[in-house]
Chain A
């Protein structure tokens, strides 16, 4: 069963652009990315879109569909009414290269600023011994496909470009939480999370969790636990006293 759908697609290079109208055929079982490809094939051969796996696992086709950050390949056309006009725009938080393709290098820069996994001295790869319960929390975060929709939707940088230098976004705060919870990581990440990566900017409004295509509970399982760990370190005198008295490590 096919029908003609109305689309508005953002066209332009850099920030300057406009929404262009298209009427395009839609067939049963198709997703938004299929329609974008049909536009390329039939009406707009120079339409730029980043895509790769078409299976929701590469994180390439992040875009905003009717204003919501979505993966183009995982958004079924059957979720829209046939007479609905569907608006497709690039991710708003990142600079546009062309049409639907954004420059996401902000994320790579922030990724490089997170110190890598740091095992204890004298423990070599192959000697790590961990039980499943010790790594389960971190494994949830490893599902991330780096679509960067969480960073895109986060209002801290989406609505306030000036916060980008101070804030690494949910994706990389989750990475810090993952490492901080790791039984064999000895790097101190709590002070850094607050001072260097802007954990305090997060006001836990959970948009990152809402848009995550992997359904990772970013806020509840990474950001809030990390905030609590920072409280241990910086704001809780009882924990500080306990660490002193019992000579506990705060790591």
Chain B
């Protein structure tokens, strides 16, 4: 690109366009839909934490899994008989574990983009002026804490494995119900989202500069990269699937869904 000469008579002022944006397309639709989608997830999550109908043999609601207490309705002890909290804990079981997958999504690189755009309008869309007078990004507290995303990833991987275990328990149960397949689909989507995470991509081999010296890690990186390329789609699909699977189990537990093979 042609460089301006140092002595070019430049008045150092950008074009004083007086409007927030000159875009003529409906740029506000995506942030609006994102806002509604993420808000619905938050509202559902709060309800799911409060609601106690989270277990019906052989299903456990994903928002309550793993159940680490024996006092709750979920009857703990599904995780290899392991219920470390015991029976003294009387609060909703979801409170014990939801911080981990919640933190994973909160610090996820895709979700950061979506809520910075839709909730914080920073920016709402490309080339649309943001309303804030000052911007420091993720350089200071609290947003500098986004850098702990990889630790949430480790826990999210564990939760993904537990949800898979829950689905397998439901699948081996006789008679086999529709809920087993719903839990399985949810587990697959959760794992697809978790394994496609940018931190996972970095950990497998992204941090290396010599792929050729680490062929297995490089292979893992290429697989994760394939998932990562659709991380946004996995994020939305797994978010709706976890809500859907959770709601399904609760409706079965409440007796609202009562058809055969439910």
B132 to chain A minimum Cβ distance, whole angstroms, is: 8
Contact B144 A200 (CB under 8 A): yes
Residues of B within 8 A of A147 (CB): 1
For residue B211, CB closer than 8 A to chain A, the reply is yes
Knowing A153-B126, A224-B109 are in contact, say whether A95-B134 is a contact too (CB < 8 A).
no
Partner of A68, one of B8, B23, B229: B23
Contact A235 B148 (CB under 8 A): yes
Residues of A within 8 A of B132 (CB): 159
For residue A60, CB closer than 8 A to chain B, the reply is yes
Contact B137 A200 (CB under 8 A): yes
A178 to chain B minimum Cβ distance, whole angstroms, is: 11
Residues of B within 8 A of A169 (CB): none
Of all chain B residues, which has the CB nearest A80?
B24
Knowing A159-B130, A201-B138, A205-B116 are in contact, say whether A15-B13 is a contact too (CB < 8 A).
yes
Contact B13 A160 (CB under 8 A): no
A60 to B144: give the CA distance in the assembly, Å: 36
A59 to B3: give the CA distance in the assembly, Å: 12
Residues of B within 8 A of A229 (CB): 202, 207
A161 to B129: give the CA distance in the assembly, Å: 12
Contact B113 A94 (CB under 8 A): no
Contact B3 A108 (CB under 8 A): yes
Knowing A66-B22, A163-B135, A205-B117 are in contact, say whether A236-B150 is a contact too (CB < 8 A).
yes
Of all chain A residues, which has the CB nearest B129?
A159
A76 to chain B minimum Cβ distance, whole angstroms, is: 16
For residue A215, CB closer than 8 A to chain B, the reply is no
Tell me if B's interface is mostly helix, strand, loop or mixed.
Answer: loop
For residue A146, CB closer than 8 A to chain B, the reply is yes
For residue A87, CB closer than 8 A to chain B, the reply is yes
Knowing A134-B211, A224-B198, A228-B206 are in contact, say whether A64-B147 is a contact too (CB < 8 A).
no
Knowing A202-B137, A204-B109 are in contact, say whether A67-B23 is a contact too (CB < 8 A).
yes
Partner of A95, one of B12, B24, B136, B138: B12
User: What's the interface size class on A, roughly?
Assistant: 35 or more
Partner of A225, one of B2, B21, B149, B206: B206
Contact B22 A67 (CB under 8 A): yes
For residue A176, CB closer than 8 A to chain B, the reply is no
B221 to chain A minimum Cβ distance, whole angstroms, is: 10
Knowing A104-B4, A224-B198 are in contact, say whether A201-B130 is a contact too (CB < 8 A).
no
User: What's the interface size class on B, roughly?
Assistant: 35 or more
For residue A175, CB closer than 8 A to chain B, the reply is no
Contact B127 A67 (CB under 8 A): yes
A123 to chain B minimum Cβ distance, whole angstroms, is: 14
CB contact list, B7-51 vs A, under 8 A:
8, 10-17, 21-25
Contact B137 A183 (CB under 8 A): no
Residues of B within 8 A of A198 (CB): 137, 139
Residues of A within 8 A of B2 (CB): 50, 52, 60
Mark the stretch among A35-43, A114-122, A206-214 that contacts chain B.
A206-214
Contact B112 A204 (CB under 8 A): yes
A200 to chain B minimum Cβ distance, whole angstroms, is: 4
Contact A95 B10 (CB under 8 A): yes
B243 to chain A minimum Cβ distance, whole angstroms, is: 25
Contact A200 B139 (CB under 8 A): yes
Most buried by A among B126, B139, B199: B126
Contact A95 B137 (CB under 8 A): no
Knowing A224-B198, A228-B199 are in contact, say whether A87-B109 is a contact too (CB < 8 A).
no
Contact A181 B209 (CB under 8 A): yes
A93 to B12: give the CA distance in the assembly, Å: 11
- Leading 5 A-B pairs by shortest Cβ distance: A15-B13, A14-B11, A67-B22, A67-B23, A207-B126
16 contacts between A and B (CB under 8 A): A15-B11, A52-B1, A52-B2, A90-B15, A96-B15, A97-B4, A97-B8, A134-B210, A155-B135, A156-B137, A159-B130, A198-B139, A203-B137, A204-B109, A228-B150, A234-B147
Known: A103-B8, A220-B229. 8 other contacts (CB 8 A): A15-B11, A69-B127, A102-B14, A181-B209, A201-B138, A204-B113, A204-B116, A228-B207
